[in-house]
Amino acid sequence: MPDLVASIDAGTTSVRFMIFNEFAEVQASHGLEFTQYFDHPGWQDQDAHEIVDKVLECVDQAIKKLEQKGGKASDIKVVGITNQRETTVVWSKTTGKALTRAIAWPDTRTTHTVRQLAEKSDKGTDAVKLETGLPLSTYFAALKLRWMLDNIPEVKKAHDEGDMLFGTVDCWLLYNLTGGEVHLTDASNASRTMFMDLRKQTWDPKLCDFFGIKMEILPEIKSSSEVYGKIKGGALDGVEIAGIVGDQMAALIGQKALSPGEAKNTYGTGAFLLYNTGTKVVDSKNGLLSTIAYKAGPNAEPVYALEGSIAVCGSGIKWLRDQLGLIKEASEVGDLASQVEDSGGIYFVTAFSGLLCPYWDDCASGMIIGMTGYTDKRHFARATIEAACYQTQAVLAACERDSGVPLASLQVDGGMTNSDVAMQIQADILGLTVERPEMRETTALGSALLAGAAKGLFGWDISKPETLSKVNAKGKQAFKPTISEEKRKELLHGWERAVERSRGWLENP
């Protein structure tokens, strides 16, 4: 078997180990879920040691599958890591043991912490946005760490006595896989902590002071593509780890959206859209996040992105299934939607918990409008798909306004992309080509590409997209717009009218 490259994909609820060849064909993989702890409303904790244990089990199982196909562990030349971002881990420098459970990125216990910090600045929640590209929010790691220091005595004691290390999940995994010898992170993950200066890619003493943490607890910041250390023990003993990147940024790389004006959208429970802005930071005036997408090597310029999130995507389809009982399986929604030419004039604003970018309205309410006696469940199914597509169009429009760079095409992955109907609807609403790869494990692929490039495998070079021309090119499908521009504008006008009627509905959110 030829040389292979592997990726540890440490997601929010599960971890996977995937092994690729030079064409991004999956040779073997194994995935496992890990425990989520919801001890109080809004809380979501994880056992950091369980994550490590599950990763090691996935490695062993995937290698067994590889061996069944005639391969062997030594065929794997390098390993990359991609991870759920913002999830916060703290551990003892002396023992290497976690000081408390990790606080996961969706956790919202820090609402009061956000309020307290916002009051310290006349800029409110934009207190550190210029330096970090991020507003004060429960989302980011700095707030979670501040909460730990304020509420968990063991964490504060270790911090004050110099026995604490901090990291996101990538950093924690690297530390454990290298036997506690390496404490570092990459620029993409560092850009989500709120401790890093986005333009300098260094920890900022003023930001650390603002959040009240010692800089020495922070890992060293490296590029997203270089050798960080060697795995100690197990089937991959001695194999180098050489690519680290946050999961949404990894999907951008895995989709090969490597030039300014290229974008990817991952349609999961919600949807995450990243828009490549090249080597310049774009300060958003439309509610988007500015972030580092990746740094392709120690001497490479960082590549930046704008990011917008859609709160309800696959969860809207799940709502049709579980709450309304209109479908038995999520996969049925595309078939149902395909039975009608349009949504019969109805719009479904899926503001189950307000609206995110670019509307930013916590008081918006979910709403279905335009119903008549003609409306049936097929129209509901189509309107649910359209809701995610309209919101994707709104985020992309905001990206274009901020960056001044028009989008060429949209690269897509995630569960909803399995539906041809959904992707055709997306192309029509955007008025752009939507491209879907056959192999859609683009998050794992992204870190594998960075790792392979760091070792010079297969001629891959992230800064030269042409070197990746054969990667995941097989079976790619392009969905092109089929409706007129006039019709598209009419549909978008209807959507905006529906959104306007949903806004501000909740008087006491």
Write out pLDDT tens, residues 338-371. Answer: 999 999 999 999 988 778 778 877 788 899 999 9
Distance CA 191, CA 279 (A): 15
Is the bond leading into 358 cis (omega within 30 degrees of zero)? yes
Q: End-to-end CA distance of the chain, in Å?
A: 58
Mean pLDDT along residues 258-266: 91
**Confidence (pLDDT) at 109:** 86
Is residue 458 in some structural domain? no
15 with 9: CB under 8 angstroms?
yes
Question: Taking the C-alpha atoms of 350, 353, 356 and 359 in order, what is their torsion angle to the nearest 10 degrees?
Answer: 70
- Three-state DSSP class for residue 217: helix
Q: Collect all residues with Cβ–Cβ distance below 8 Å to 402 and sequence separation of at least 6.
A: 282, 283, 284, 285, 286, 288, 306
Q: Collect all residues with Cβ–Cβ distance below 8 Å to 479 and sequence separation of at least 6.
A: 420, 423, 424, 426, 427, 433, 434, 435, 436
Higher pLDDT, 13 or 194: 194
Is residue 70 domain-shared with residue 213, that is, in the same domain?
Answer: yes
Strand partners of residue 246: 83
Is residue 379 scored above 80 in pLDDT?
yes
Is residue 229 domain-shared with residue 100, that is, in the same domain?
Answer: yes
434-449 pLDDT per residue, tens: 999 988 889 999 999 9
Is residue 457 in some structural domain? no
Is residue 219 domain-shared with residue 103, that is, in the same domain?
Answer: yes
Is residue 348 in some structural domain? yes
Q: Of 407, 141, 114, 135, which Cα lies nearest the Cα of 290?
A: 135
User: 330 exposed, middle or buried (CB, 10 Å; 0-12, 13-18, 19+)?
Assistant: middle
Instruction: Please spell the DSSP secondary structure of 237-250, one letter per residue.
Output: TTPEEEEEEEHHHH
- Three-state DSSP class for residue 204: coil
Is residue 223 domain-shared with residue 360, that is, in the same domain?
Answer: no
Look at strands 26-33 and 14-20 and give their pairing. Answer: antiparallel
Is residue 150 domain-shared with residue 51, that is, in the same domain?
Answer: yes
Distance CA 330, CA 314 (A): 8
455 with 77: CB under 8 angstroms?
yes
Is residue 491 domain-shared with residue 356, that is, in the same domain?
Answer: yes
**Confidence (pLDDT) at 168:** 97
Is residue 473 in some structural domain? no
Is residue 223 domain-shared with residue 323, that is, in the same domain?
Answer: no
381-428 pLDDT per residue, tens: 999 999 999 999 999 999 989 988 888 889 999 888 989 999 999 999
**Confidence (pLDDT) at 141:** 95
Residue type, 434: V
**Confidence (pLDDT) at 9:** 94
- Three-state DSSP class for residue 73: helix
pLDDT band at residue 102 under the 50/70/90 scheme: very high
User: What DSSP state is assigned to residue 147?
Assistant: H
Q: How many domains does the chain have?
A: 2
Is residue 10 domain-shared with residue 115, that is, in the same domain?
Answer: yes
Is residue 331 domain-shared with residue 240, that is, in the same domain?
Answer: no
Is residue 412 in some structural domain? no
Give the phi and the psi of residue 319 in degrees, each rounded to 5: -65, -40
Mean pLDDT along residues 255-261: 90
Is residue 1 scored above 90 in pLDDT?
no
320 with 381: CB under 8 angstroms?
yes
Distance CA 202, CA 19 (A): 32
Is residue 382 in some structural domain? yes
**Confidence (pLDDT) at 135:** 87
Q: Of 244, 262, 272, 294, which Cα lies nearest the Cα of 448?
A: 244
Show which of 247, 263, 298 is a domain's final residue. Answer: 247
User: What DSSP state is assigned to residue 145?
Assistant: H
Q: Where are the beta strands (DSSP E) in 54-208?
A: 76-83, 89-92, 102-103, 164-167, 184-186, 196-197, 202-203
Look at strands 14-20 and 225-230 and give their pairing. Answer: unpaired
103-151 pLDDT per residue, tens: 998 888 888 898 899 998 889 888 999 999 998 888 899 999 999 999 9
Q: Is the dihedral of CA 59, 61, 64, 65 positive or negative?
A: negative
Is residue 80 scored above 90 in pLDDT?
yes
**Confidence (pLDDT) at 340:** 92
**Confidence (pLDDT) at 364:** 85
Is residue 236 domain-shared with residue 324, that is, in the same domain?
Answer: no
**Confidence (pLDDT) at 315:** 81
pLDDT band at residue 508 under the 50/70/90 scheme: low
17-56 pLDDT per residue, tens: 999 999 989 999 999 989 888 888 888 999 999 999 999 9
Is residue 369 domain-shared with residue 243, that is, in the same domain?
Answer: no
Is residue 320 in some structural domain? yes
**pTM (predicted TM-score):** 0.88
CATH number at residue 26: 3.30.420.40
Mean pLDDT along residues 181-205: 96
194-250 pLDDT per residue, tens: 999 999 999 999 999 999 999 999 999 999 999 999 999 999 999 999 999 999 999
Q: Is the dihedral of CA 42, 112, 104, 364 positive or negative?
A: positive
- Report CA-CA distances (Å) from 366 to 147, 325, 355, 502: 32, 18, 9, 7
Distance CA 306, CA 252 (A): 12
**Sheet with 26-33: strands ordered across:** 26-33, 14-20, 4-10, 76-83, 240-246, 225-230
**Confidence (pLDDT) at 311:** 79
Domain containing residue 211? 4-247
**Confidence (pLDDT) at 136:** 87
Mean pLDDT along residues 163-190: 96
Is residue 469 in some structural domain? no
- Three-state DSSP class for residue 371: coil
**54: how many CB neighbours lie within 10 A of its CB?**
22
Residue type, 453: A
Is residue 6 scored above 70 in pLDDT?
yes
Is residue 49 domain-shared with residue 136, that is, in the same domain?
Answer: yes
Look at strands 220-222 and 184-186 and give their pairing. Answer: parallel
143 with 225: CB under 8 angstroms?
no
Show which of 247, 276, 293 is a domain's final residue. Answer: 247
- Which tokens belong to 286? 């439309």
286-335 pLDDT per residue, tens: 889 999 999 999 999 999 999 998 878 888 888 888 888 888 888 888 88
Show which of 226, 247, 268 is a domain's final residue. Answer: 247
Is residue 265 scored above 90 in pLDDT?
yes
Is residue 284 scored above 80 in pLDDT?
yes
